[in-house]
């Protein structure tokens, strides 16, 4: 699997959200930005307990894309779990 350049990861991690969004919009094509949003919706749906078919119906994503998201959520590097935990912390009442 290809890896991300460590200096890019460090730079992205250091940026405030608004600046990170600007960098990603410049770095990615409009289609890639859309794919990132779609994949995030897939992972959130699966993590919330929706079936793969429900996620396909809700997102319009291909079943293969949803299946890959499910596989990465279950057997991936743990990045989705970290991101979902961060989202839960952001959404938790203060």
Total-model pTM: 0.88
The pLDDT tens digits for 15-32 are 999 999 999 999 999 999
3-state secondary structure 17-47: HHHHHHHHHHHCCHHHHHHHHHHHHHHHHHH
d(CA 55, CA 23): 29
How is 47-74 classified by DSSP, letter by letter? Answer: HTT--HHHHHHHH---HHHHHHHHHHHH
Length of the chain: 94
The pLDDT tens digits for 2-14 are 799 999 999 999 9
CATH no. of 6-91: 1.10.1270.10
- 91 alpha-carbon distance from chain centroid: 16
The pLDDT tens digits for 66-75 are 999 999 999 9
């Amino acid at each position: 699997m290809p890896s991300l350049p460590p200096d890019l990861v460090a730079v992205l991690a250091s940026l405030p959200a608004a600046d990170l969004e600007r960098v990603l919009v410049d770095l990615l094509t409009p289609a890639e930005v859309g794919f990132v949003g779609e994949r995030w919706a897939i992972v959130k749906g699966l993590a919330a307990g929706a079936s793969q078919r429900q996620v396909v119906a809700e997102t319009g994503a291909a079943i293969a894309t949803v299946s890959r998201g499910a596989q990465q959520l279950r057997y991936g590097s743990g990045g989705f779990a970290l991101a979902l935990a961060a989202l839960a912390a952001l959404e938790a009442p203060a």
